Structure 1
Amino acid sequence: MLYRPFENRLNTELNKHQLHRAQWTILYYLFHQGSATNVEISQYQGVEKPTVTRTMTSLENLGYVEHQPSKDKREKRMQLTKLGQKVYQEVRVTIDQYEEEVLTGISEEEQLETIRILQEIRQNIMK
């Protein structure tokens, strides 16, 4: 009951930046992790590697991500470009406003308790 409306509105907000949720998730991950392989991102997102590969290719075509030089030629690590970092910062403002709007009327204490409960539910699912 919550997921679809949230996802639809999130994509509307991201569309203002010509992005969709899967792309945003990768930008977010790379911004906070520095670099990653497609396998690492697929595990983070809980999706198949080919899905991440397609999304990563689209981000690369937009100039938002690039290959990170590596000593191991078999390992293909990706990182944000300067443009990708700039886009992340711009989109972050939109996302922050959206999150603030959907959390209106919910205290910080309630938000933290909800996060704790959802993390516990996730752990139970992953057992």
Structure 2
Amino acid sequence: MTDKPLLILIAGPYRSGTGGDPAAMAANLERLEAAAWPVFAAGHLPVIGEWIALPVLRSAGAGPADPLADEVLYPTAERLLARCDAVLRLPGESVGADQDVAFARRRGLPVYHDVAEIPVLGRQVEA
């Protein structure tokens, strides 16, 4: 049990396995976002690296399939993880998500593989 809300990075496939297909990346982002409500309902603050990185890319005139993406997506996640308290690693092959887990473990942060593992803070929010 924790006594304060955790900032939890939701990590999983975004570009991996999509071949740069925007529809496939959008579907992957939807899967990541589907985990946001259960994290929030447990009393914590969910965050997804792409929520920050994609507007940064757009402001640079680029997108997730552009060469600049590697210079924004991975560093954004690392900078974000410097502020996070835990990681929720969703299933699926993903170099970026694996890097997120490795970085979190180096920092001694908990890495959850199921929302049910996340400690509940105070009262749960009902859907």
User: TM-score normalized by structure 2?
Assistant: 0.34
Tell which structure's C-alpha radius of gyration is larger: 1
Which of the pair is proportionally richer in strand? 2
Which of the pair is proportionally richer in helix? 1
Q: Which has the higher contact order (CA 8 A, sep 6+)?
A: 2
